[in-house]
Amino acid sequence: MLPQNSHLWHGTTVLTVRKGGAVVIGADGQVSVGQTIIKANAKKVRRLAKGDVIGGFAGATADAFTLFERLEGKLEQYPGQLMRAAVELAKDWRTDRYLRRLEAMMLVADAQVTLVLTGTGDVLEPENGVMGIGSGGNYALAAARALLDTDMDAESIVRKAMAIAADICVYTNRSVTVEALNTV
């Protein structure tokens, strides 16, 4: 269930792929308000926990940065335990009066696990290590799933799937930021 202001959520595409000893998160750089492109090269993917965790967001930028800061705090409290930190963040996000109003979704990953976090309290591990969020998320997800059984590596799949999403979704562009972690 999306918040009432869900029209703010449709301005991006974020994709994660876990394959062949790597996990990769990529996001486009377009920031849109309504039908206007405000910025084309925003960085919606970042490293957390001294580089051991990568994350990407869809939704309101300030809200996402607030959530990243909260997740960083949870990762400091539970070092090396992304799942535990994510569950604790989801509890706060769901119950805290201030956090409950934040409109964003996050994809986060470390060497062991990939997770989707939502404001409805969800902490989900995607099937097959592939997940997309944002307006073009389903397009990128479908493309990535189709490319999984090829000889392409995780980063190549992310880049190709994001390009496909950009061809379909008007709120997604080709200015893609990618972060990767080795999982072996």
Tens digits of residue pLDDT in 110-156: 999 999 998 778 899 998 999 999 999 999 999 999 999 999 999 99
Which residue type does 28 have?
D
Tell me the pLDDT band of 99, cut-offs 50, 70 and 90: low
Given a cut of 80, is residue 5 above it in pLDDT?
no
177 is catalytic: no
Question: Are 71 and 110 spatial neighbours (Cβ–Cβ below 8 Å)?
Answer: no
- Reduced to 3 states (helix: H, G, I; strand: E, B; else coil), residue 73 is helix
Those residues whose C-beta lies under 8 Å from the C-beta of residue 34, and which sit 6 or more positions away, are 7
Topology classification of domain 6-170: Glutamine Phosphoribosylpyrophosphate, subunit 1, domain 1 (3.60.20)
Which tens digit of pLDDT belongs to each residue from 16-44?
Answer: 999 999 999 999 999 888 888 889 999 99
Question: Are 52 and 110 spatial neighbours (Cβ–Cβ below 8 Å)?
Answer: yes
pTM: 0.91
User: In this structure, what DSSP letter does residue 90 have?
Assistant: H
User: Annotated catalytic residue: which of 12, 16, 177, 183?
Assistant: 12
Question: Are 67 and 57 spatial neighbours (Cβ–Cβ below 8 Å)?
Answer: yes
Residues in the chain: 184
Identify any residues that bridge with 68 across adjacent strands, giving them in sequence order: none
Residue spans per domain, the chain: 6-170
CA distance 73 to 88: 10
Question: Are 87 and 123 spatial neighbours (Cβ–Cβ below 8 Å)?
Answer: yes
Tell me the pLDDT band of 103, cut-offs 50, 70 and 90: confident
In sequence order, what DSSP letters do the residues of 145-169 get, joined into one string?
A: HHHTTSS--HHHHHHHHHHHHHHH-
